[in-house]
Structure 1
Amino acid sequence: MNIERIHHVAYRCKDAKTTVDWYEKHLGMNFVLAIAEDKVPSTQAADPYMHIFMDAGGGNVLAFFELPNSPAMGRDTNTPEWVQHIALKVGSVAELEAAKTRLQAAGIEVIGITDHTIFKSIYFFDPNGHRLELAADVGTPEMYAKLDACKREMLEEWTRTKRAPKHAAWMHDHSLHA
């Protein structure tokens, strides 16, 4: 089997039209497809839905379901809100800075710009409560090679100890940058 790319990633939304309008206005995504059914094709459950698809660039699609007959949307209270998020790549730090300015001007609270050494990012929430990240890559080939060289060892140490391995501590401790 050869995975070519993500076909789409789907999340729930509170209101399909509000979601389309927000992603078009604030992230410049194009609305590419809508599917609505009274029965779920995979399970045959009677559960009407609106399924919307947004172009996230590069063949990537971000999709949402509005489910009017289901209980109100919530979130997993056992998972911190910073963990589950959708990260979208932008072309440069200048684009990231411009996006932050536009989002804040629209009244959207933005965290960052956060320096992750190999990329810089901002964080904010969509109208459904999904956390979004915009990221601009800034790493060097040497940085990526250094991270690649220790990934398995880090994973093995984490699996044994459940403590953060320090192989890549240089990413957030700027005094350690090599």
Structure 2
Amino acid sequence: MTALHPNGVNHLALSTRDMKGQLEFWCDVLGLPLKALYWMHGVDGTYHGFVELAPDSYVAFVQHPDNAKDVELGVTHAGGPGEPVTAGTMQHVAFNVDTFEDLMALRDRIRDRGVQVFGPIDHGFIQSIYFAGPEGLALEVACGSAIPVEQWVDPEVQDLCGISTAELEALKQPAEFARPAEPVPQPASDTGMPRLMPEDHYDMVMNLPDQVVWDRMSETTPPVAAD
């Protein structure tokens, strides 16, 4: 049986107050084609934009009218690939290219557009370059795959994280899941578990039947008719 787990990033959604500026950077500096730009479904006054990394992987942007404009390093943004930032926020994001030659070619494209690039650096299992994006983004491009876990789990760091030998083995080999014949019901609300949205109306929204959510909230009509 094939292991069941997410197999990539369908889209990474980044907050913005300047959709045009973000699209110009990602399309011109990084060479990613624009694929979608429309009113975000179910969110009043909010734009959604998508640029393509691959046919099944995108970077998306969300321009909400109430997005805050202030960047506070160490709180809202890290400001660098090794700097502190509030837990649960994006410290930095790294995108993939296939080869080291591709990495060097992309470094030169980025520099050609006037953006400074730090690197390359060889981290052993990946090689990376680093640069900044609009609105305080800390970005990386890397090449490399198939990390040899036996070589890259440091026992000292494992101990500092409070991970036992048994727990480590469970992390390296997650339990398989056999989907039951009937859908798994929504678990009871538990404030100790991650929550998708603020408390207002949380339980009401999360306890809507799946079919009701599908029927009422799906929107599949493109804003522009096909030729």
With normalisation by structure 1, the TM-score equals 0.70
Please tell me the residue identity of whatever aligns with 1:115.
D
* Match among 13, 18, 21 for residue 16 of structure 2: 13
Once residues 6 and 24 of structure 2 are traced to their aligned partners in structure 1, the CA distance between those partners, rounded to angstroms, is: 31
CA positional deviation for 1:53:
1.0
Match of 1:130 in 2: 137
Match of 1:51 in 2: 48
Q: Which runs of 4+ in 1 moved over 6 A?
A: none
Match of 1:29 in 2: 32
Match of 1:170 in 2: none
C-alpha distance 24-160 of structure 1, shift in aligned 2 (>3 A): same
**Alignment map for 1:73-152 (pairs within 5 Å):** 73-75=70-72, 77-78=74-75, 80-81=78-79, 82-83=81-82, 84-137=91-144, 144-147=148-151, 150=153
Native 8 Å contact 2:48 2:62 kept in 1: yes
Once residues 106 and 129 of structure 2 are traced to their aligned partners in structure 1, the CA distance between those partners, rounded to angstroms, is: 9
Native 8 Å contact 1:113 1:121 kept in 2: yes
Once residues 85 and 144 of structure 1 are traced to their aligned partners in structure 2, the CA distance between those partners, rounded to angstroms, is: 23
CA positional deviation for 1:126:
1.3
Please tell me the residue identity of whatever aligns with 1:107.
G
Question: Does 1 or 2 have the higher relative contact order (CA < 8 Å, sep 6+)?
Answer: 1
Match of 1:166 in 2: none
CA positional deviation for 1:5:
3.6
Once residues 57 and 38 of structure 1 are traced to their aligned partners in structure 2, the CA distance between those partners, rounded to angstroms, is: 23
C-alpha distance 61-154 of structure 1, shift in aligned 2 (>3 A): farther
Q: Return the structure number with greater strand share.
A: 1
Match of 1:63 in 2: 60
* Match among 155, 158, 161 for residue 160 of structure 2: 158
Match of 1:174 in 2: none
Once residues 4 and 119 of structure 1 are traced to their aligned partners in structure 2, the CA distance between those partners, rounded to angstroms, is: 19
The C-alpha deviation readout for 1:104-157, integer Å capped at 9, x for no partner, is 2221111111110111110011122211111012x7x7x715336x47x56641
CA positional deviation for 1:12:
0.9
CA positional deviation for 1:15:
1.1
Q: Which runs of 5+ in 1 are unaligned?
A: 41-46, 162-178
Q: Which runs of 5+ in 2 are unaligned?
A: 83-90, 164-227
With normalisation by structure 2, the TM-score equals 0.56
Native 8 Å contact 2:78 2:138 kept in 1: no
Q: CA RMSD in A?
A: 2.8
Q: Which moved more, 1:23-32 or 1:61-70?
A: 61-70
Please tell me the residue identity of whatever aligns with 2:127.
K
Please tell me the residue identity of whatever aligns with 2:48.
H
Total equivalences in the alignment: 150
Once residues 123 and 4 of structure 1 are traced to their aligned partners in structure 2, the CA distance between those partners, rounded to angstroms, is: 25
